[in-house]
């Protein structure tokens, strides 16, 4: 059993402990005494980290495109509108692709035209070719995204084109976007592994990324499409990328198939990366990468950022509400560990309050700050008590949940 173990090399105030099997711990918790100085020591040891990180919410597009249930248009619009009210500055809205290949996005025009545009929020749309770009432009898109692959096999499976053929298409799209004053963001898939070729040379990732940047993409998002990357592999990739593209033009996009996404993001932050893609409730995957789980959950990313002292300007309570709402629509539990933990805590709070009043009020009203379980989540069905111990609430993160 671990008990009040102190990691002296980092800081004497950073502890990880379990007392008598009761949950009483945080991942990174700084004592009140000399908290500012201790945090600076932590930053010096493990950072420095950026003061602000932009979260690019990809749930409505990258998330929903791989869900088995096709979400009604009205619910997609509501999802985007609710996400825009959380403080997120970028919410990827939809993709203009063939409905034959991605039927979940067949209502792209209706979605983009139906959402309530919030000032200061961008709503990029994915466009795979010039036809998709024109359709997005007609629907009122102000920003688009392109996606190229660093793997030949994946590129052919995904868009039926070689890497070079895809780059030629994207050059045309970027030129058209520039003529129309449309911002362009670039994605590179399979940067840390491919479902068909396994290993992908870093030189290939750098080559494709540099091309997109030269075409005019203001930001290049490096996607671990099958979630196979590790911190070590991420470090090597970013080390190479830093020699080719300005670090402030690089974003990271991790799937959590092997549970490495947060560790990879932490590694990226240490490199100075300040833009992270994530998906509310951990929605998504990739229709052309079998076995790949959803994107890293936005809630989980925010929870980690909070304790690192990084500002994201996102209201966690509002985001949690959205996470549980869309999970219920999809008839599934959230993939976010934080959503499960905080909703369980709120549920217990409601139950205890009800017990104290001897069940005199059977219609207990949930306060707006509480997050109820409304997606058939039952923490008691977890495999063992040991697993339960891994669901915990940091005392630093129980209040002021605007990250």
Q: What is the 3-state secondary structure (H, E, C) of the chain?
A: CCCCEECCCCCCCCEECCECCECCCCCCCCCCCCHHHHHHHHHHHHCCCCCECEEEECHHHHHHHHCCCCCCHHHHHHHHHHHHCCCCCEECCEECCCCCCCHHHCCHHHHHHHCCCCCCCECCEECCCHHHHHHHHHCCCCEEEEEEECCHHHHHHHHCCCHHHHHHHHHHHHHHHHHCCCEEEEEEECCCCECCCECCCHHHHHHHHHHHHHHCCCEEEEEECCCCCCHHHHHHHHHHHCCCCCHHHEEEEEECCCCCHHHHHHHHHHCCCCEEEEEHHHCCCCCCCCCCCCECEHHHHHHHHHHHCCECCCEHHHHHHHHHHHHHHCCCCCCCHHHHHHHHHHHHHHHHHHHHCCCCCCCCCCCCCCCCCCCCCCHHHCCCHHHHHCCCCCHHHCCCCEC
Alpha carbon distance 303, 321 (integer Å): 15
Alpha carbon distance 124, 183 (integer Å): 9
117: number of Cβ within 10 Å: 14
Omega of the bond leading into 48 within 30 degrees of 0 (cis):
yes
Catalytic residue among 174, 217, 286, 312: 286
Sign of CA pseudo-dihedral 336, 337, 340, 343: negative
Contact between residue 297 and residue 265 where contact means Cβ atoms under 8 Å apart: no
What is the rounded radius of gyration, in angstroms, for the C-alpha atoms of the chain?
22
Q: Is 286 a catalytic residue?
A: yes
18: number of Cβ within 10 Å: 16
Alpha carbon distance 399, 403 (integer Å): 10
List, by residue number, the catalytic residues.
Answer: 286
């Amino acid at each position: 059993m671990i008990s009040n173990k102190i990691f002296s090399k980092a800081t004497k105030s950073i502890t990880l402990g379990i007392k008598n099997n009761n949950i009483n711990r945080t991942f990174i918790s700084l004592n009140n005494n000399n908290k500012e100085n201790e945090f600076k020591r932590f930053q010096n040891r493990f950072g420095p980290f950026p003061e602000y990180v932009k979260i690019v919410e990809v749930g409505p597009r990258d998330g929903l495109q791989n869900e088995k249930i096709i979400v009604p248009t009205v619910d997609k619009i509501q999802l985007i509108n609710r996400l825009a009210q959380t403080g997120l500055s970028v919410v990827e809205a939809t993709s203009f692709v063939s409905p034959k290949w991605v039927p979940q996005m067949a209502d792209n025009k209706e979605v983009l035209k139906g959402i309530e545009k919030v000032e200061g929020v961008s709503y990029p749309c994915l466009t795979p070719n010039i036809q998709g770009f024109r359709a997005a432009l007609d629907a009122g898109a102000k920003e688009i995204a392109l996606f190229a692959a660093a793997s030949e096999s994946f590129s052919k499976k995904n868009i039926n084109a070689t890497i070079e053929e895809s780059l030629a298409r994207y050059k045309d799209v970027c030129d058209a976007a520039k003529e129309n004053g449309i911002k362009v963001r670039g994605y590179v898939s399979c940067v840390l592994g491919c479902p068909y070729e396994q290993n992908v040379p870093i030189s290939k990732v750098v080559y494709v990324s540099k091309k997109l940047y030269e075409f005019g993409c203001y930001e290049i998002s490096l996607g671990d499409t099958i979630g196979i990357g590790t911190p070590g592999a991420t470090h090597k990739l970013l080390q190479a990328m830093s020699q080719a593209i300005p670090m402030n033009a690089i974003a990271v996009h991790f799937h959590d198939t092997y549970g490495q996404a947060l560790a990879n993001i932490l590694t990226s932050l240490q490199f100075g990366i300040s833009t992270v893609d994530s998906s509310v409730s951990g929605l998504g995957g990739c229709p052309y990468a079998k076995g790949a789980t959803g994107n890293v959950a936005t809630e989980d990313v925010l929870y980690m950022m909070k304790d690192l002292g990084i500002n994201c300007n996102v209201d966690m309570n509002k985001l949690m509400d959205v996470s549980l709402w869309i999970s219920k629509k999809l008839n599934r539990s959230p993939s976010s560990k934080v959503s499960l933990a905080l909703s369980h805590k709120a549920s217990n709070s409601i139950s205890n309050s009800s017990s104290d009043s001897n069940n005199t009020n059977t219609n207990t009203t949930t306060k707006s700050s509480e997050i109820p379980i409304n997606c058939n989540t039952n923490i008691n069905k977890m495999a063992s008590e040991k697993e339960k111990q891994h669901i915990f609430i940091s005392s630093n993160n129980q209040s002021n949940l605007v990250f």
